């Protein structure tokens, strides 16, 4: 998917990129590739692949679940890495109030410079483990929507993300192919954390064989205070 095809594909979903937005995505690609020479951000560096597997992939939640992105929503992205999915979403929806949580300082340094270059406002960067952020009063149950992409399996990811979601809000996981089995084993964890699976959608990325799944979880009740557990525990002993 080259930049022109990217624009055309979004237009099919009634999203028309402005000249400034097109330039922002071009700059994002340029900065990503340049920074990747020094910091391990991604193994995907070819332009066509970045536009498909990073930019377009990151935007799919907005295409599939537009109702989840309310005007001015407070969105938290857990383990964003090089800014996916949150920054492509922010480029399309500047009104979103974005918080990015990542445990690696080098990635946040890249994002800090990138955000400045892209001219974005309303973005907070938090250097923290997700488990620690989920215990902190300023982040716990403060967000309308929490996203995560390629971070952990669903049972672990739910403990990272659901404590951050306010009651009545949602958690949106961007997963690879055939996430149904993974989702089955996570049902107990999701319930313990106050959530309930709302929808799962499987699809292929535009004009490719790349399979993806999006999982939307509703936050029904407050997460019990004992969750998230101590940093590292969710991955070692996933909830059942």
> Residue positions in the annotated binding site for S-adenosyl-L-methionine?
79, 84, 130-131, 149
Question: Of 158, 182, 180, whose CA–CA distance to 171 is shortest?
Answer: 158
Residues of each annotated binding site: 79, 84, 130-131, 149
């Amino acid at each position: 998917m080259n930049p022109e095809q990217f624009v055309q594909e979004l237009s099919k979903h009634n999203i028309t990129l402005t000249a400034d937005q097109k330039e922002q995505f071009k700059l994002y690609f340029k900065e990503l590739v340049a920074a990747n020479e020094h910091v391990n951000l991604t193994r995907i560096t070819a332009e066509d692949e970045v536009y498909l597997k990073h930019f377009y992939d990151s935007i799919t939640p907005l295409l599939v679940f537009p109702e989840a992105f309310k005007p001015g929503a407070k969105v938290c992205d857990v383990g964003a890495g090089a800014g996916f999915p949150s920054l492509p979403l922010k480029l399309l929806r500047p009104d979103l109030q974005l918080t990015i949580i990542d445990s690696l300082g080098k990635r946040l340094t890249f994002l800090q410079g990138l955000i400045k270059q892209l001219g974005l406002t309303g973005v907070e960067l938090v250097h923290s483990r997700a488990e620690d952020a989920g215990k902190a009063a300023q982040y716990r149950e403060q967000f309308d929507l929490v996203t995560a992409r390629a971070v952990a399996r669903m049972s672990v990811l739910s403990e990272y993300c659901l404590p951050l979601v306010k009651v009545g809000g949602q958690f949106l996981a961007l997963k690879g192919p055939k996430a149904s089995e993974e989702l089955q084993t996570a049902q107990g964890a999701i319930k313990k954390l106050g959530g309930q699976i709302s929808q799962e959608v499987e699809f292929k990325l535009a004009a490719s064989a790349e399979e993806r799944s999006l999982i939307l979880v509703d936050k029904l009740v407050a997460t019990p205070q004992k969750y998230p557990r101590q940093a590292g525990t969710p991955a070692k002993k996933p909830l059942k």
